Amino acid sequence: MAKYNFEFKKKVVMEYLEGETVKQRLQREKTIPVIDALNIIMPIVDAMEKIHAENIIHRDISPDNIILTNDGRVKLIDFGAAKFSTTIHSKSLSVLVKPGFAAEEQYSGRNIVDVYSIAATFYNMVTGVVPKDSMERAVKDDLKSPAKLGVNIPKNIDIAIMNALNRQFTDRTRDCTAFKREINDL
């Protein structure tokens, strides 16, 4: 009688989405107007607020993981790197970084936060520039705000982006709720 060795692997299936990534749009248009970028980023912030409430972190938010569908929806994809963020689980997190979109503490695998990545994506959309990698900023932090790069942006949004991109974790915007509050603080 033949013996069979079956290997079961976890597979991820997602819905088929027609559209383009934010990265593709940026490649074509170079920047995205602030109001359009806000309309893209806020659904991501709202979704992450709910996901974080379940103690899950995405760990890979960037322009290539946000789809702008042909029917006008904004979808965050690629939860393959997502992990539980409880103390028990976070000790075993593997390190996953995307230079320019990862907070400094993400390199060590601790205190991983998505707010930094959301702000880096927002920054990239309105400036056309990928923020300097957080590890490089540890040596010399000369990241200029969107306003200082010539972007016509409301002061509260400019400040919210820079607060969330703060290199020091202890000084950074703590969560999506606080980030929304800062953006809406007129």
Question: Catalytic residue positions?
Answer: 60
Distance, in Å, from the CA atom of 164 to the CA atom of 175, rounded to the nearest integer, reads 9
Count the residues in the chain.
Answer: 186
Separation of alpha carbons 99 and 2, rounded Å = 49
DSSP string, 30-83: SS--HHHHHHHHHHHHHHHHHHHHTTEE----SGGGEEEETTS-EEE--GGG-E
Q: Which of 71, 66, 15 is nearest to 40 (CA)?
A: 66
On the 0-12 / 13-18 / 19+ scale of CB atoms within 10 A, 59 is buried
Residue type, 43: P
